[in-house]
Amino acid sequence: MIDYTSKQNLVLCSNQEFIIKVDELQNQKIRYRCWRRPKTTMEDPDLILLNGSIRVFEPADKMEFVFPFGERTYVLEKIMPQNEQNTSHIFLEVSDDQNQKTTWKLQDAVIPNQVDRLL
């Protein structure tokens, strides 16, 4: 049986359309969950992707979380400029097998530790 218990939150972000959460599971797999607004994280997500991978770029100011899904690839990119404290830039890019891309800009969302355990 697969353990879907979250071990560590990696990204929680949102915009006016979506709430997205990427976390590492106890079994070391990377999971992507997306809620289309007006849903909240207390409801079932609209999309769950498993078996993601993480790409870290030097000088360690950019990470990508990559999730292949059928003919599409979901890439959540988090850029943390070293000269800007507490600032990050997050983009979701969805591309299809013909390399047609759609991109959304998102913002970091911070949640209290007690609520985080429920997600």
For residue 29, what pLDDT band results from cuts at 50, 70 and 90? very high
Residue-wise pLDDT tens digits, 14-24: 999 999 999 99
The type of residue at 99 is: N
In the numeric block, which tokens belong to residue 4? 């879907």
pLDDT at position 115 is: 47
Question: 6-116 adopts what CATH topology?
Answer: Lipocalin (2.40.128)
Range 42-53 average pLDDT: 95
Q: Is the Cβ–Cβ distance between 63 and 57 less than 8 Å?
A: yes
For residue 4, what pLDDT band results from cuts at 50, 70 and 90? confident
CA angle 83, 54, 10 (to 5 degrees): 65
User: Rounded distance, CA 17 to CA 77, Å?
Assistant: 17
Q: Which of 54, 63, 1, 52 is nearest to 29 (CA)?
A: 52
State the Cα torsion 57-13-4-116 to the nearest 10°. 120
Among the residue ranges 42-46, 50-54, 58-62, 114-118, the one predicted with the least confidence is 114-118
Q: Which residues pair with 20 in a beta bridge?
A: 13, 34
Residue-wise pLDDT tens digits, 64-114: 999 999 999 999 999 987 776 667 899 999 999 888 999 999 998 865 544
